[in-house]
Structure 1
Protein backbone atom coordinates (compact mmCIF):
# COMPACT_ATOMS: atom_id res chain seq x y z
CA UNK A 1 0.00 0.00 0.00
CA UNK A 2 1.33 3.43 -0.92
CA UNK A 3 1.83 6.02 1.77
CA UNK A 4 -0.91 8.57 2.47
CA UNK A 5 0.40 12.05 1.71
CA UNK A 6 -0.45 14.42 4.55
CA UNK A 7 -0.44 18.21 4.80
CA UNK A 8 -0.70 19.90 8.21
CA UNK A 9 -2.18 23.38 8.71
CA UNK A 10 -1.31 25.09 11.96
CA UNK A 11 1.89 23.08 11.99
CA UNK A 12 3.69 25.34 14.43
CA UNK A 13 0.90 25.28 17.01
CA UNK A 14 0.80 22.94 19.97
CA UNK A 15 -1.61 20.48 18.35
CA UNK A 16 -0.06 20.96 14.92
CA UNK A 17 3.38 19.97 16.17
CA UNK A 18 1.96 16.78 17.65
CA UNK A 19 0.38 15.96 14.29
CA UNK A 20 3.64 16.59 12.44
CA UNK A 21 5.48 14.31 14.86
CA UNK A 22 2.84 11.57 14.57
CA UNK A 23 2.92 11.65 10.77
CA UNK A 24 6.72 11.47 10.68
CA UNK A 25 6.70 8.45 12.98
CA UNK A 26 4.11 6.41 11.03
CA UNK A 27 5.58 4.54 8.02
CA UNK A 28 2.12 4.46 6.40
CA UNK A 29 2.02 8.27 6.27
CA UNK A 30 4.23 10.82 4.52
CA UNK A 31 4.43 14.50 5.40
CA UNK A 32 4.30 16.50 2.16
CA UNK A 33 3.34 19.97 3.39
CA UNK A 34 3.32 22.02 6.57
CA UNK A 35 1.60 25.39 6.84
CA UNK A 36 2.00 28.01 9.54
CA UNK A 37 1.37 31.70 9.08
CA UNK A 38 4.25 32.93 11.24
CA UNK A 39 6.75 30.07 11.63
CA UNK A 40 8.95 31.19 8.74
CA UNK A 41 10.61 29.09 6.02
CA UNK A 42 12.09 26.38 8.25
CA UNK A 43 12.13 22.63 7.83
CA UNK A 44 9.09 20.96 9.42
CA UNK A 45 11.35 18.55 11.27
CA UNK A 46 12.76 21.43 13.27
CA UNK A 47 9.31 22.16 14.71
CA UNK A 48 9.28 18.81 16.50
CA UNK A 49 12.97 18.23 17.21
CA UNK A 50 13.48 15.76 14.38
CA UNK A 51 15.96 15.68 11.48
CA UNK A 52 15.23 17.67 8.36
CA UNK A 53 12.34 16.29 6.33
CA UNK A 54 12.74 18.29 3.15
CA UNK A 55 9.34 19.86 3.82
CA UNK A 56 9.68 23.61 4.28
CA UNK A 57 6.98 25.30 6.34
CA UNK A 58 4.86 27.52 4.07
CA UNK A 59 2.66 30.45 4.96
CA UNK A 60 -0.02 30.02 2.27
CA UNK A 61 -2.29 26.98 2.35
CA UNK A 62 -3.39 27.10 -1.29
CA UNK A 63 0.20 27.30 -2.53
CA UNK A 64 1.26 24.43 -0.26
CA UNK A 65 -1.57 22.16 -1.40
CA UNK A 66 -1.00 23.02 -5.05
CA UNK A 67 2.69 22.10 -4.82
CA UNK A 68 2.43 19.01 -2.62
CA UNK A 69 -0.24 16.78 -4.21
CA UNK A 70 -1.46 15.93 -0.69
CA UNK A 71 -4.16 13.34 -0.06
CA UNK A 72 -5.27 14.65 3.34
CA UNK A 73 -5.14 17.99 5.13
CA UNK A 74 -5.10 17.93 8.93
CA UNK A 75 -6.09 21.33 10.25
CA UNK A 76 -5.61 22.63 13.79
CA UNK A 77 -5.72 26.38 13.27
CA UNK A 78 -8.36 28.83 14.54
CA UNK A 79 -12.14 29.08 14.15
CA UNK A 80 -11.93 32.01 11.71
CA UNK A 81 -9.87 29.85 9.33
CA UNK A 82 -12.01 26.73 9.65
CA UNK A 83 -14.40 27.29 6.75
CA UNK A 84 -11.98 28.89 4.25
CA UNK A 85 -9.29 26.27 4.89
CA UNK A 86 -11.77 23.44 4.43
CA UNK A 87 -13.06 24.89 1.18
CA UNK A 88 -9.51 25.40 -0.05
CA UNK A 89 -8.67 21.76 0.63
CA UNK A 90 -11.78 20.51 -1.15
CA UNK A 91 -11.08 22.76 -4.14
CA UNK A 92 -7.70 21.01 -4.56
CA UNK A 93 -9.26 17.57 -4.09
CA UNK A 94 -7.58 17.15 -0.69
CA UNK A 95 -9.55 15.42 2.04
CA UNK A 96 -9.92 17.74 5.05
CA UNK A 97 -9.60 16.37 8.58
CA UNK A 98 -10.62 19.33 10.69
CA UNK A 99 -9.76 19.52 14.37
CA UNK A 100 -10.54 23.24 14.20
CA UNK A 101 -14.00 24.06 15.56
CA UNK A 102 -16.45 26.85 14.77
CA UNK A 103 -18.58 25.40 11.94
CA UNK A 104 -22.30 26.13 11.78
CA UNK A 105 -24.77 23.38 10.82
CA UNK A 106 -25.39 25.20 7.53
CA UNK A 107 -21.67 25.26 6.75
CA UNK A 108 -21.37 21.53 7.43
CA UNK A 109 -24.23 20.84 4.99
CA UNK A 110 -22.53 23.02 2.36
CA UNK A 111 -19.17 21.29 2.88
CA UNK A 112 -20.81 17.88 2.59
CA UNK A 113 -22.16 18.92 -0.81
CA UNK A 114 -18.76 20.22 -1.90
CA UNK A 115 -17.06 16.97 -0.86
CA UNK A 116 -19.60 14.84 -2.69
CA UNK A 117 -19.27 16.99 -5.81
CA UNK A 118 -15.52 16.28 -5.76
CA UNK A 119 -16.01 12.62 -4.85
CA UNK A 120 -13.92 12.89 -1.69
CA UNK A 121 -14.47 12.53 2.04
CA UNK A 122 -13.83 14.85 4.94
CA UNK A 123 -14.14 14.93 8.71
CA UNK A 124 -15.03 17.67 11.18
CA UNK A 125 -14.20 16.40 14.65
CA UNK A 126 -14.83 18.47 17.80
CA UNK A 127 -12.71 15.91 19.64
CA UNK A 128 -10.35 13.14 18.53
CA UNK A 129 -10.03 11.56 21.99
CA UNK A 130 -11.58 8.10 22.24
CA UNK A 131 -12.19 8.74 25.95
CA UNK A 132 -14.09 11.93 25.13
CA UNK A 133 -16.21 10.08 22.57
CA UNK A 134 -17.11 7.51 25.23
CA UNK A 135 -17.97 10.32 27.66
CA UNK A 136 -20.40 11.73 25.08
CA UNK A 137 -21.87 8.32 24.35
CA UNK A 138 -22.40 7.51 28.03
CA UNK A 139 -23.98 10.95 28.55
CA UNK A 140 -26.49 10.32 25.79
CA UNK A 141 -27.33 6.97 27.35
CA UNK A 142 -27.82 8.55 30.79
CA UNK A 143 -30.01 11.36 29.43
CA UNK A 144 -32.80 8.86 28.72
CA UNK A 145 -33.13 8.26 32.46
CA UNK A 146 -31.80 11.54 33.90
CA UNK A 147 -33.27 14.36 31.77
CA UNK A 148 -32.05 17.10 34.13
CA UNK A 149 -28.48 17.84 33.08
CA UNK A 150 -25.83 20.54 32.88
CA UNK A 151 -22.42 20.54 31.19
CA UNK A 152 -19.30 22.13 32.64
CA UNK A 153 -16.28 22.33 30.34
CA UNK A 154 -12.82 23.54 31.33
CA UNK A 155 -10.09 24.83 29.02
CA UNK A 156 -7.07 27.10 29.17
CA UNK A 157 -7.58 30.84 29.08
CA UNK A 158 -6.25 31.13 25.52
CA UNK A 159 -9.00 29.04 23.94
CA UNK A 160 -10.83 31.19 21.40
CA UNK A 161 -14.32 29.69 21.30
CA UNK A 162 -16.89 29.11 24.03
CA UNK A 163 -18.54 26.79 24.57
CA UNK A 164 -16.14 24.18 23.26
CA UNK A 165 -16.91 22.08 20.23
CA UNK A 166 -16.87 18.99 22.44
CA UNK A 167 -19.53 20.39 24.76
CA UNK A 168 -21.73 21.37 21.82
CA UNK A 169 -21.39 17.89 20.34
CA UNK A 170 -22.23 16.39 23.75
CA UNK A 171 -25.30 18.63 23.96
CA UNK A 172 -26.41 17.49 20.51
CA UNK A 173 -26.15 13.84 21.54
CA UNK A 174 -28.06 14.48 24.76
CA UNK A 175 -30.78 16.34 22.86
CA UNK A 176 -31.28 13.36 20.58
CA UNK A 177 -31.99 11.20 23.64
CA UNK A 178 -34.37 13.49 25.56
CA UNK A 179 -37.18 15.93 24.89
CA UNK A 180 -36.49 19.62 25.45
CA UNK A 181 -36.99 20.30 29.14
CA UNK A 182 -36.65 23.75 30.69
CA UNK A 183 -34.82 23.21 33.94
CA UNK A 184 -34.71 25.21 37.14
CA UNK A 185 -37.24 27.46 38.81
CA UNK A 186 -39.56 29.09 36.24
CA UNK A 187 -39.20 32.36 38.15
CA UNK A 188 -35.42 32.17 38.21
CA UNK A 189 -33.62 35.48 37.69
CA UNK A 190 -29.95 35.95 36.85
CA UNK A 191 -28.59 38.60 39.18
CA UNK A 192 -25.41 38.62 37.07
CA UNK A 193 -25.95 38.13 33.34
CA UNK A 194 -24.67 34.76 32.14
CA UNK A 195 -24.44 33.24 35.61
CA UNK A 196 -26.57 30.29 34.53
CA UNK A 197 -24.45 29.56 31.48
CA UNK A 198 -25.39 29.14 27.84
CA UNK A 199 -28.85 27.78 27.04
CA UNK A 200 -29.16 24.66 24.88
CA UNK A 201 -32.36 22.66 24.43
CA UNK A 202 -33.51 23.37 27.99
CA UNK A 203 -30.23 22.85 29.81
CA UNK A 204 -27.06 24.85 30.40
CA UNK A 205 -23.44 24.74 29.28
CA UNK A 206 -20.83 26.44 31.48
CA UNK A 207 -17.41 27.36 30.07
CA UNK A 208 -14.48 27.74 32.46
CA UNK A 209 -11.33 29.42 31.09
CA UNK A 210 -8.27 29.45 33.36
CA UNK A 211 -4.49 29.28 32.99
CA UNK A 212 -3.09 25.92 34.00
CA UNK A 213 -6.14 24.03 32.70
CA UNK A 214 -5.81 21.74 29.68
CA UNK A 215 -9.14 20.15 28.65
CA UNK A 216 -11.78 18.62 30.89
CA UNK A 217 -15.52 18.17 30.68
CA UNK A 218 -18.07 17.10 33.25
CA UNK A 219 -21.68 16.21 32.50
CA UNK A 220 -23.80 16.41 35.66
CA UNK A 221 -27.21 14.69 35.86
CA UNK A 222 -29.62 15.35 38.72
CA UNK A 223 -32.64 13.44 40.01
CA UNK A 224 -34.48 13.17 43.29
CA UNK A 225 -31.98 12.13 45.95
CA UNK A 226 -29.07 11.47 43.59
CA UNK A 227 -26.68 12.85 41.01
CA UNK A 228 -24.62 11.20 38.28
CA UNK A 229 -21.39 12.77 36.99
CA UNK A 230 -19.64 11.65 33.83
CA UNK A 231 -16.24 13.27 33.41
CA UNK A 232 -13.35 13.12 30.97
CA UNK A 233 -9.94 14.70 31.55
CA UNK A 234 -7.22 15.22 28.94
CA UNK A 235 -3.71 15.85 30.21
CA UNK A 236 -1.56 15.73 27.08
CA UNK A 237 -2.11 16.53 23.39
CA UNK A 238 -0.48 13.25 22.45
CA UNK A 239 -3.67 11.57 23.69
CA UNK A 240 -5.50 12.88 20.61
CA UNK A 241 -3.03 11.48 18.09
CA UNK A 242 -4.34 7.87 17.84
CA UNK A 243 -7.67 9.39 16.83
CA UNK A 244 -6.10 11.75 14.29
CA UNK A 245 -4.12 8.85 12.85
CA UNK A 246 -7.27 6.76 12.48
CA UNK A 247 -9.10 9.70 10.86
CA UNK A 248 -6.36 10.22 8.26
CA UNK A 249 -6.56 6.60 7.19
CA UNK A 250 -10.34 6.20 7.23
CA UNK A 251 -11.13 9.44 5.43
CA UNK A 252 -9.42 7.98 2.37
CA UNK A 253 -12.37 5.60 1.89
CA UNK A 254 -15.12 8.08 2.80
CA UNK A 255 -17.31 10.23 0.58
CA UNK A 256 -18.97 13.36 1.92
CA UNK A 257 -18.30 15.42 5.02
CA UNK A 258 -18.60 13.48 8.27
CA UNK A 259 -19.35 15.38 11.47
CA UNK A 260 -17.99 13.62 14.54
CA UNK A 261 -15.04 11.27 14.98
CA UNK A 262 -17.34 8.65 16.49
CA UNK A 263 -18.41 7.71 12.96
CA UNK A 264 -14.87 6.51 12.25
CA UNK A 265 -14.78 4.16 15.25
CA UNK A 266 -15.60 0.49 14.61
Structure 2
Protein backbone atom coordinates (compact mmCIF):
# COMPACT_ATOMS: atom_id res chain seq x y z
CA UNK A 1 0.00 0.00 0.00
CA UNK A 2 1.31 3.45 -0.92
CA UNK A 3 1.89 6.07 1.75
CA UNK A 4 -1.19 8.10 2.72
CA UNK A 5 -1.46 11.67 1.48
CA UNK A 6 -0.44 14.09 4.24
CA UNK A 7 -3.09 16.76 4.69
CA UNK A 8 -3.18 20.11 6.51
CA UNK A 9 -6.45 21.93 7.17
CA UNK A 10 -6.62 25.73 7.34
CA UNK A 11 -9.64 27.01 9.21
CA UNK A 12 -9.81 23.70 11.07
CA UNK A 13 -12.07 25.02 13.84
CA UNK A 14 -14.60 26.51 11.42
CA UNK A 15 -17.78 24.74 10.40
CA UNK A 16 -16.42 23.57 7.05
CA UNK A 17 -12.95 22.97 8.45
CA UNK A 18 -14.30 20.59 11.07
CA UNK A 19 -16.02 18.55 8.36
CA UNK A 20 -12.72 18.34 6.46
CA UNK A 21 -10.87 17.22 9.59
CA UNK A 22 -13.44 14.45 10.16
CA UNK A 23 -13.25 13.36 6.53
CA UNK A 24 -9.44 13.13 6.62
CA UNK A 25 -9.37 11.27 9.94
CA UNK A 26 -11.84 8.69 8.64
CA UNK A 27 -10.02 7.91 5.37
CA UNK A 28 -7.04 5.51 5.64
CA UNK A 29 -5.64 6.89 2.37
CA UNK A 30 -5.24 10.32 4.01
CA UNK A 31 -3.29 11.41 7.07
CA UNK A 32 -3.97 14.59 9.04
CA UNK A 33 -0.62 16.19 9.87
CA UNK A 34 -1.63 19.79 10.64
CA UNK A 35 -4.64 21.84 11.68
CA UNK A 36 -4.40 25.64 11.62
CA UNK A 37 -6.87 28.14 13.04
CA UNK A 38 -6.84 31.38 14.98
CA UNK A 39 -9.11 29.81 17.59
CA UNK A 40 -8.80 26.52 19.51
CA UNK A 41 -5.02 26.82 19.58
CA UNK A 42 -3.46 23.90 21.42
CA UNK A 43 -6.57 21.73 21.25
CA UNK A 44 -6.39 18.29 19.69
CA UNK A 45 -7.95 18.34 16.21
CA UNK A 46 -9.73 15.08 16.83
CA UNK A 47 -11.37 16.36 19.97
CA UNK A 48 -12.71 19.56 18.37
CA UNK A 49 -14.65 17.43 15.87
CA UNK A 50 -16.03 15.09 18.53
CA UNK A 51 -13.65 12.19 17.91
CA UNK A 52 -10.79 10.65 19.85
CA UNK A 53 -7.54 12.58 20.18
CA UNK A 54 -5.45 12.17 17.05
CA UNK A 55 -2.23 13.78 18.23
CA UNK A 56 -2.48 16.79 15.90
CA UNK A 57 -2.77 20.03 17.86
CA UNK A 58 -4.34 23.18 16.38
CA UNK A 59 -1.73 25.86 15.63
CA UNK A 60 -1.97 29.49 14.60
CA UNK A 61 1.18 30.11 12.53
CA UNK A 62 0.55 28.72 9.05
CA UNK A 63 4.05 29.11 7.65
CA UNK A 64 5.78 27.57 10.66
CA UNK A 65 3.28 24.72 10.71
CA UNK A 66 3.78 23.89 7.04
CA UNK A 67 7.56 24.00 7.43
CA UNK A 68 7.42 21.54 10.33
CA UNK A 69 4.59 19.20 9.25
CA UNK A 70 5.50 19.09 5.53
CA UNK A 71 2.03 18.18 4.23
CA UNK A 72 1.35 17.24 0.63
CA UNK A 73 -1.94 19.13 0.46
CA UNK A 74 -3.63 21.92 2.39
CA UNK A 75 -7.40 22.29 2.36
CA UNK A 76 -8.47 25.90 2.96
CA UNK A 77 -11.93 26.96 4.10
CA UNK A 78 -11.09 30.26 5.77
CA UNK A 79 -12.13 33.78 4.69
CA UNK A 80 -11.78 35.86 1.51
CA UNK A 81 -9.40 38.15 3.43
CA UNK A 82 -6.87 35.41 4.24
CA UNK A 83 -7.18 32.80 1.49
CA UNK A 84 -4.79 34.45 -0.98
CA UNK A 85 -1.94 34.85 1.50
CA UNK A 86 -2.54 31.31 2.78
CA UNK A 87 -2.28 29.90 -0.76
CA UNK A 88 0.90 31.85 -1.52
CA UNK A 89 2.53 30.55 1.68
CA UNK A 90 1.46 26.99 0.91
CA UNK A 91 2.81 27.05 -2.65
CA UNK A 92 6.08 28.53 -1.37
CA UNK A 93 6.48 25.37 0.74
CA UNK A 94 5.43 23.14 -2.20
CA UNK A 95 2.14 22.28 -0.51
CA UNK A 96 -0.73 21.84 -2.95
CA UNK A 97 -3.64 24.19 -2.13
CA UNK A 98 -7.20 22.89 -2.34
CA UNK A 99 -9.25 26.04 -1.82
CA UNK A 100 -12.96 26.13 -1.08
CA UNK A 101 -12.99 29.73 0.11
CA UNK A 102 -14.61 32.06 -2.43
CA UNK A 103 -13.70 35.66 -3.18
CA UNK A 104 -10.50 35.25 -5.22
CA UNK A 105 -10.34 37.46 -8.32
CA UNK A 106 -9.40 36.11 -11.77
CA UNK A 107 -6.10 37.98 -11.45
CA UNK A 108 -5.33 36.26 -8.15
CA UNK A 109 -6.22 32.86 -9.60
CA UNK A 110 -3.83 33.50 -12.52
CA UNK A 111 -1.10 34.51 -10.10
CA UNK A 112 -1.56 31.32 -8.07
CA UNK A 113 -1.44 29.28 -11.27
CA UNK A 114 1.92 30.82 -12.18
CA UNK A 115 3.28 30.11 -8.71
CA UNK A 116 2.11 26.48 -8.92
CA UNK A 117 3.70 26.10 -12.35
CA UNK A 118 6.99 27.48 -11.02
CA UNK A 119 6.97 25.00 -8.13
CA UNK A 120 5.74 22.18 -10.42
CA UNK A 121 2.81 21.32 -8.15
CA UNK A 122 -0.94 21.21 -8.61
CA UNK A 123 -3.66 23.25 -6.97
CA UNK A 124 -7.42 23.72 -7.06
CA UNK A 125 -9.75 26.63 -6.45
CA UNK A 126 -13.34 25.38 -6.35
CA UNK A 127 -16.35 27.63 -5.72
CA UNK A 128 -18.32 24.48 -4.90
CA UNK A 129 -17.34 20.89 -4.07
CA UNK A 130 -20.86 19.51 -4.19
CA UNK A 131 -21.23 16.95 -6.96
CA UNK A 132 -24.90 17.92 -7.31
CA UNK A 133 -23.98 21.59 -7.69
CA UNK A 134 -21.42 20.76 -10.38
CA UNK A 135 -24.07 18.83 -12.29
CA UNK A 136 -26.42 21.81 -11.94
CA UNK A 137 -23.77 24.03 -13.53
CA UNK A 138 -23.15 21.58 -16.35
CA UNK A 139 -26.88 21.22 -17.09
CA UNK A 140 -27.29 25.02 -17.07
CA UNK A 141 -24.41 25.44 -19.50
CA UNK A 142 -26.03 22.93 -21.86
CA UNK A 143 -29.46 24.56 -21.59
CA UNK A 144 -27.99 27.97 -22.48
CA UNK A 145 -27.28 26.71 -26.00
CA UNK A 146 -31.01 26.43 -26.63
CA UNK A 147 -32.55 28.94 -24.18
CA UNK A 148 -30.31 32.02 -23.99
CA UNK A 149 -32.65 34.06 -21.77
CA UNK A 150 -31.54 33.25 -18.23
CA UNK A 151 -31.27 34.59 -14.70
CA UNK A 152 -29.61 33.15 -11.59
CA UNK A 153 -30.93 33.37 -8.03
CA UNK A 154 -28.62 32.17 -5.26
CA UNK A 155 -29.56 31.85 -1.59
CA UNK A 156 -27.19 31.79 1.39
CA UNK A 157 -27.20 32.60 5.08
CA UNK A 158 -26.90 36.20 6.20
CA UNK A 159 -23.33 35.73 7.47
CA UNK A 160 -21.85 34.97 4.03
CA UNK A 161 -19.21 37.58 3.24
CA UNK A 162 -19.24 37.74 -0.57
CA UNK A 163 -22.01 38.37 -3.08
CA UNK A 164 -22.72 37.01 -5.56
CA UNK A 165 -21.55 33.58 -4.51
CA UNK A 166 -18.59 31.89 -6.14
CA UNK A 167 -20.92 29.15 -7.35
CA UNK A 168 -23.18 31.62 -9.16
CA UNK A 169 -20.20 33.34 -10.78
CA UNK A 170 -18.81 30.01 -11.96
CA UNK A 171 -22.27 29.07 -13.29
CA UNK A 172 -22.45 32.37 -15.16
CA UNK A 173 -19.01 31.79 -16.67
CA UNK A 174 -20.01 28.33 -17.92
CA UNK A 175 -23.28 29.65 -19.34
CA UNK A 176 -21.42 32.42 -21.15
CA UNK A 177 -19.22 29.86 -22.91
CA UNK A 178 -22.34 28.59 -24.71
CA UNK A 179 -24.21 31.87 -25.11
CA UNK A 180 -23.29 35.10 -26.87
CA UNK A 181 -23.85 38.27 -24.87
CA UNK A 182 -27.53 39.12 -25.00
CA UNK A 183 -28.85 42.08 -23.06
CA UNK A 184 -32.15 40.88 -21.64
CA UNK A 185 -35.31 42.70 -20.60
CA UNK A 186 -37.01 45.75 -22.02
CA UNK A 187 -34.37 48.12 -23.41
CA UNK A 188 -36.31 51.02 -21.83
CA UNK A 189 -36.60 49.44 -18.38
CA UNK A 190 -35.66 51.61 -15.39
CA UNK A 191 -34.96 50.58 -11.81
CA UNK A 192 -37.12 52.62 -9.46
CA UNK A 193 -35.06 51.10 -6.62
CA UNK A 194 -31.37 50.74 -7.44
CA UNK A 195 -30.23 47.13 -7.72
CA UNK A 196 -33.72 45.70 -8.19
CA UNK A 197 -32.69 43.86 -11.34
CA UNK A 198 -29.65 42.27 -9.69
CA UNK A 199 -26.02 42.16 -10.78
CA UNK A 200 -25.28 42.36 -14.51
CA UNK A 201 -23.18 39.61 -16.11
CA UNK A 202 -22.80 39.20 -19.88
CA UNK A 203 -26.33 40.43 -20.52
CA UNK A 204 -28.16 38.52 -17.78
CA UNK A 205 -28.72 38.99 -14.06
CA UNK A 206 -27.56 37.35 -10.83
CA UNK A 207 -29.62 37.86 -7.68
CA UNK A 208 -28.20 37.20 -4.18
CA UNK A 209 -30.51 36.41 -1.27
CA UNK A 210 -29.02 36.57 2.25
CA UNK A 211 -31.26 35.41 5.11
CA UNK A 212 -30.86 33.67 8.47
CA UNK A 213 -31.95 30.05 8.39
CA UNK A 214 -30.86 29.58 4.77
CA UNK A 215 -27.96 27.24 4.00
CA UNK A 216 -27.07 27.13 0.28
CA UNK A 217 -29.34 26.93 -2.75
CA UNK A 218 -29.15 28.09 -6.34
CA UNK A 219 -31.74 28.32 -9.08
CA UNK A 220 -30.99 28.91 -12.75
CA UNK A 221 -34.12 30.03 -14.58
CA UNK A 222 -34.41 29.93 -18.38
CA UNK A 223 -37.28 31.60 -20.20
CA UNK A 224 -38.61 31.02 -23.71
CA UNK A 225 -41.82 31.57 -25.64
CA UNK A 226 -44.60 29.89 -23.67
CA UNK A 227 -42.25 27.98 -21.33
CA UNK A 228 -39.61 28.18 -18.66
CA UNK A 229 -36.96 25.79 -17.34
CA UNK A 230 -35.67 25.83 -13.77
CA UNK A 231 -32.52 23.98 -12.71
CA UNK A 232 -32.10 24.05 -8.94
CA UNK A 233 -29.66 22.60 -6.43
CA UNK A 234 -30.15 22.58 -2.65
CA UNK A 235 -27.47 21.85 -0.05
CA UNK A 236 -28.69 20.90 3.41
CA UNK A 237 -25.51 19.97 5.26
CA UNK A 238 -21.80 20.73 5.01
CA UNK A 239 -21.04 17.02 4.99
CA UNK A 240 -22.44 16.96 1.45
CA UNK A 241 -19.31 18.73 0.21
CA UNK A 242 -16.89 16.19 1.64
CA UNK A 243 -16.98 13.52 -1.12
CA UNK A 244 -15.86 16.24 -3.53
CA UNK A 245 -13.14 17.50 -1.20
CA UNK A 246 -11.90 13.92 -0.81
CA UNK A 247 -11.66 13.48 -4.58
CA UNK A 248 -9.88 16.83 -4.91
CA UNK A 249 -7.24 16.03 -2.27
CA UNK A 250 -6.36 12.80 -4.06
CA UNK A 251 -6.48 14.04 -7.64
CA UNK A 252 -4.56 17.28 -7.07
CA UNK A 253 -1.47 15.15 -6.47
CA UNK A 254 -1.37 14.33 -10.18
CA UNK A 255 -1.63 17.90 -11.52
CA UNK A 256 0.77 20.72 -12.31
CA UNK A 257 -0.67 24.22 -12.23
CA UNK A 258 -3.80 25.59 -10.63
CA UNK A 259 -7.21 24.31 -11.75
CA UNK A 260 -10.25 26.57 -11.36
CA UNK A 261 -13.44 24.59 -10.84
CA UNK A 262 -14.03 21.15 -9.38
CA UNK A 263 -15.85 20.08 -12.55
CA UNK A 264 -12.45 19.51 -14.20
CA UNK A 265 -11.60 16.86 -11.62
CA UNK A 266 -14.92 15.13 -12.30
CA UNK A 267 -14.05 14.79 -16.00
CA UNK A 268 -10.98 12.63 -15.38
TM-score (norm 1): 0.99
Q: Does 1:249 align with 2:253?
A: no
The 4+ residue runs of structure 1 with deviation greater than 6 A are none
Match of 1:95 in 2: 96
The SS at the match of 1:227 is strand
Per-residue CA deviations over 1:219-241 (Å, capped at 9, x if unaligned) read: 00001111000000000111100
Matching of residue 235 in structure 1 with residue 256 in structure 2: no
Equivalent in the alignment of 1:196: 197
For these two proteins, the number of residue pairs brought into alignment is 266
Measure the CA separation in 1 of the matches of 2:264 and 2:24: 22
Q: What does residue range 201-212 of structure 1 map to in structure 2 within 5 Å?
A: 201-212=202-213
Instruction: Measure how far apart 1:129 and its partner are.
Output: 0.5
Partner residue in 2 for 1:34: 35
Greater alpha carbon shift after TM alignment, 37-46 vs 82-91: 37-46
Matches within 5 A, 1:1-266: 1-265=2-266, 266=268
Aligned partners of 2:262, 2:164: CA distance in 1, in Å?
Answer: 19
Question: Any idea what the Cα deviations from partners look like across 1:32-79, whole Å, max 9, x if unmatched?
Answer: 000111222111011111111111100111111111010000000001
Deviation per residue, 1:110-143 (Å, 9 max, x gap): 1111001001000000000110000000000000
**SS of residue in 2 equivalent to 1:11:** coil
Work out the CA distance in 2 between the residues paired with 1:238 and 1:133.
16
Counterparts of 2:227 and 2:100, CA distance in 1: 36
Normalising by structure 2, report the TM-score: 0.98
What is the root-mean-square deviation in Å for CA atoms of aligned residues? 0.6
SS at match of 1:151: strand
Q: Any unmatched runs of 5+ in structure 1?
A: none
Q: Distance in 1 between matches of 2:240 and 2:189?
A: 41
Provide the rounded CA distance (Å) in 2 between the counterparts of 1:124 and 1:107: 11
Aligned partner of residue 79 in structure 1, secondary structure: coil
